[in-house]
Chain A
Amino acid sequence: MAELSFASLSKRFDGAPAPALDAISASVASGEFVALLGPSGCGKTTLLRLIAGFERPTAGSLTLGGRVMADATRFVPPEAREIGIVFQSYALWPHMTVAGNVAYPLEVRRLPRAERAARVAEALELTGLTPYADRMPAQLSGGQRQRVALARCLVFEPRAMLLDEPLANLDLALRASMQDVFRMFHRRTGATMVYVTHDQGEALALADRIAVMDAGRIRQFAAPETLYREPADCFVAGFVGDGGVVSLRLGAPSGPGRRQATLLGQEVTVRSDSATPTHACIRPEDITLSDTAPLRGRVLGCAYLGGRFRLTIEAAGETLVAFSARRARPGEVLGLRIAEPWAFHDREGTVLMDRARAHA
């Protein structure tokens, strides 16, 4: 396993008006499970393909385990990087059996036959594919193909593993069980994993840290709970998790990491690490419904989530989301109490917010 790091990594495709990746700098610790999350076209797949070596960066450098994989002068081709990748389409070779697919990386490395057989058996065992060793890929279900792709990747113990929207082609029930497989797999191998997805649920559930990407840049790179509780800007606030983003007027500091602010016409204490927060992200958990609260909101819609209701509420010209134990009629007026939402500084503000909303 190895540490993966990018320094000012950029990629511009011929004829494209904007760069696909715009000076990305970040690093992934050895054994870490990182998700690249973003709307389609944000550059997450380009970053993955740069790591794999299928594309050359236009500028910047990429290092794996301290060795430069690509920079202005050097380029290590994909076959010499020892990085495994699981494709969205699985890319199983249709002319080889399951065992043939899994054995291929070892044949390339000219491993002795006995050791090869043992390691293939081990990889098939780990992924629960032993009974299917002699099947052709065409005879497998989607979930089984996914596991063959995984086994083919883990069998040669790559220094890092890349997963390109691996669950996008599976149905909902299978996605949940494959998430368990990935988690188990990561625990057992301790591999450095980079996981590309546009599904925030997958990213929040699986990753140690998530890089939220937009327009070729990383907006925020943090643990899932941090992204949710303390988004860095309007894009992240809108793209990850539920809720509303409102602008605020700043008041006095009121303790470590706390400030007074006016939002939605109310005096509210906000959490913030910025000296000049401009917006607040109000998660459904931050709102308590109370008949006595001074802030009044009108119910726009009500959806049952199982166990609770999700209400969209218009209050002081903004749209908020709250959870409720009882059903509410559209048009009903409720009282809202807002408790310590997260506030952050974002100059681009509402523009970004709209973009995130459009994708989310």
Chain B
Amino acid sequence: MSLRPLTADGSRSLDRLLPLLLLPVALISLGPVARLMLEGIGFGRGLTTAHLTAVLARPSTLEALSHSLITAGGGTLISIAIGASFAFLVALTDVRAKAALVFCLMVPMMIPPQITALAWMQVTGPSSVMLKLVGLAPPLGTPQPLHSPGGIILLLGIQHASIVFLTLRAGLRMIPADLVEAARMSGAGPVRVWAQVVLPLSLPALIAGGSMAFVTALGNFGIPAMLGIPARYATLPTLIYQRLVGMGPGVLPEVAVLSLVIGAVAILGVLAGRLVLSRGGHGLSGLSSAPLALSLCRWRPAVEIALWAFIAAILALPLLALLATSLIPAYGVPLSVDTATLKAWHQALFVQPVTRRAYVNSLFLATAAAAVLMAVCLPLAWLTSRRPTRATRILDALVDLPYALPGVVLSIACILAFMRLPFTGLSLYGTIWIILLAYLARFLVVMLRPIQSSLAQLDPSMEEAAASVGASLGRRLRTIVLPLAAPSAAAGAILVFLTAVNELTVSALLWASGTETLGVVIFNLEDSGETVMASALAMSIVCLIVALMAAVQAGARHLPKGVIPWQS
């Protein structure tokens, strides 16, 4: 009995070809950002700092910068207050239904910010359908209270509370339970344990979470656009948007500088967070497996009621208001059994060409981004974890950049990079492809990290065993690595899909007539006074998102730890 001899050529050539993948990935994900940096110093027209000084000296720039810092800073404080309270209570105490609480706290993060803003605007203000329903609406003519810096701060705080929550909870899980037990054996009560043991040990995670929330809030476009533009309160992202929309591509060098400013502030925030995290090592050791469960005793029902009431206030209330608005026949008409109608839903989903187009565009973009990124990230993750070289390490460190940078920065960068494709006469500006490229750059890490973490947990001997029985690299990737990494790739794909469907900031600057995305259309509908239809469309998106999140949740058991962001 003789076996067919094996040839090794296929495997070896694939081993050589695979690193070539790094080049397009680097070009698409890092190329635009690099191009933007060059633009700031007058790339192509001779080096100059003229733009830099001109833009920086303008009062509107400094005003927008200070508005950005104020709203992002204030929002971060609220995020920390909400996120930290939830994290401490969920991670340290014996409150019940933790999974449901966490899921509900995550929903605001997944809902597009402009929908959050739209929904909250339906809660307050003189035209609130819900307030009219209960007869609490302020008289007509009173200003919408959310059209103010305070409103922006509040909503930014709610939107990003889950970031603080997730980071802090991950940090709290690193605290060995026996440290707390030792403190209690020494006679410390729960409050003293929290203040003197838990809080100091989790402070680095808290600060890191805060810095991430700050950077995300800084780049947020949906909320300041919906609430700030009507109040003539410009932050850097909305200033860039208004300039570019008002003046056209001629102001590109100028907005490039503006986006560099906001990018610099964001990077400072990221670096500060990393510094704190790397310094924060108290050298925790011991078993961290046993979760802490300090007993709340008789306070438990009260705490649980408070937590759920809060969830109701930040999640159920605005969504109900949004739903109520979507069911009235026209803006201003009160909602009752008689007036309730699905007309706006029908109009938004089936009649209006622009919303249907937006659905098609957004679903296409999200699907394409998820599919392309899945195809790219599986081999890429395998390269970075199994064949690390200097090139993969550098790329691995830098691919976070397009995701961490504010969306406007990336979109300006993409306009600059793809306005005139190098060596061709083609321009991608105004086509759907520029949005897709921007999404690919932005969401690469969203897909890459879950796959990397599942490969890191995959015993390399699985692949070595396949190699030893004669399987070539291509076959190993297909029959061993792919099936085993598939669950996390699927979760990553759903996350990319979720974030891409939600996305407004990047597409707000890249869309053209015909390539609108859902985020853009909601913003435009609200901007042109079609609040009812905007609400119906927004509500349909919320349903889609919650359904997708539930799908991921349902598959949670089959996923490695750390893949689902809200279950890290």
Contacts and interface: CB of A to CB of B under 8 A. Distances in A.
A157 to B, nearest CB: 7
Interface stretch (A86-94, A179-187, A291-299, A311-319): A86-94
Contacts, number: 89
A250 B484 CA distance: 65
B397 interface: no
B346 to A, nearest CB: 45
Nearest to B6: A80
A79 B6 contact: yes
Contacts of A94: 484
Contact of A152 (B7, B469, B484): B469
Nearest to A161: B468
A79 B11 contact: yes
A248 B200 CA distance: 63
A301 interface: no
A85 B468 contact: yes
B479 interface: yes
Contacts of A79: 6, 8, 11, 466-473
A54 B387 CA distance: 12
Interface residues of B, number: 26
Given A80-B8, A94-B484, A105 B470 contact: yes
A85 B3 contact: no
B461 interface: yes
B465 A108 contact: no
B480 interface: yes
A95 B461 CA distance: 15
B464 interface: yes
Contacts of B459: 89, 91
A156 B470 contact: yes
B4 interface: yes
A76 B5 CA distance: 13
Contacts of A105: 469-471
Interface string B303-328: 00000000000000000000000000
Contacts of B3: 109, 111, 156-157
A83 B469 CA distance: 7
Interface string A65-76: 000000000001
Contact of A84 (B11, B469, B473, B484): B469
A82 B461 contact: no
B369 to A, nearest CB: 27
A84 B468 contact: yes
A104 interface: yes
B1 interface: yes
Contact of B8 (A77, A83, A111, A156): A77
Given A77-B12, A94-B484, A105-B469, A85 B6 contact: no
Interface residues of A, number: 33
Nearest to B472: A79
A108 B471 contact: yes
B450 to A, nearest CB: 18
Given A79-B11, A109-B3, A157-B3, A91 B470 contact: no
A129 to B, nearest CB: 17
Nearest to A149: B465
Interface string A283-304: 0000000000000000000000
A162 B4 CA distance: 21
Contact of A53 (B6, B467, B475): B467
B464 A109 contact: no
Contacts of A162: 468
Interface of B (DSSP majority class)? helix
Contacts of B11: 77, 79-80
A83 B467 CA distance: 10
A81 B469 CA distance: 9
A91 B467 contact: no
A322 interface: no
A232 B471 CA distance: 42
Nearest to B482: A95
Contacts of A188: none
A278 B465 CA distance: 46
B470 A85 contact: no
B462 A157 contact: no
B18 to A, nearest CB: 14
B469 to A, nearest CB: 4
Nearest to A78: B467
A57 B3 CA distance: 28
B483 interface: yes
A82 to B, nearest CB: 7
Interface string A260-297: 00000000000000000000000000000000000000
A54 B473 CA distance: 13
A145 to B, nearest CB: 12
B4 A83 contact: no
Contacts of B469: 79, 84, 104-105, 108, 152-153, 156
Contacts of A149: 465
B161 to A, nearest CB: 38
Interface string A137-158: 0000000000001001100111
B392 to A, nearest CB: 16
A191 to B, nearest CB: 14
A157 B6 CA distance: 13
B461 to A, nearest CB: 4
Contacts of B473: 79
Contacts of B483: 95
A84 B7 CA distance: 17
Interface in B431-483: 459, 461-462, 464-473, 475, 479-480, 483
Contact of A54 (B1, B462, B464): B464
Contacts of A78: 464, 467-468
Given A80-B6, A80-B470, A108-B470, A87 B484 contact: no
Nearest to B468: A85
A336 interface: no
A166 to B, nearest CB: 12
A15 to B, nearest CB: 14
Contacts of A89: 459, 461
B393 to A, nearest CB: 14
Contacts of A53: 467-468
Contact of A109 (B6, B8, B484): B6
Contacts of A245: none
Nearest to A49: B464
Contacts of B467: 53-54, 77-79
Contacts of B484: 93-95
Contacts of B470: 79-80, 82, 105, 108-109, 156
Most chain-B Cβ atoms within 10 A of its Cβ — which of A78, A79, A84, A111? A79
Most chain-A Cβ atoms within 10 A of its Cβ — which of B8, B12, B480? B8
Nearest to B483: A95
A153 B464 CA distance: 12
B559 to A, nearest CB: 14
A248 to B, nearest CB: 47
A52 interface: yes
A76 B7 CA distance: 10
Contacts of A54: 464, 467
Given A79-B472, A108-B471, A87 B8 contact: no
A149 B472 CA distance: 19
23 contacts: A53-B468, A54-B467, A76-B8, A77-B12, A77-B467, A79-B468, A79-B469, A79-B471, A79-B472, A80-B6, A80-B11, A82-B6, A82-B470, A89-B459, A91-B461, A92-B465, A93-B480, A93-B484, A105-B469, A152-B465, A157-B1, A157-B3, A162-B468
Given A79-B6, A79-B469, A79-B470, 18 more contacts: A52-B468, A79-B471, A85-B464, A93-B465, A95-B483, A95-B484, A104-B466, A104-B471, A105-B469, A108-B472, A108-B475, A109-B470, A110-B4, A111-B3, A152-B469, A153-B469, A156-B470, A158-B468
> 4 closest A-B pairs (Cβ-Cβ)?
A105-B469, A80-B8, A91-B461, A91-B465
Interface of B: 1, 3-4, 6-8, 11-12, 459, 461-462, 464-473, 475, 479-480, 483-484
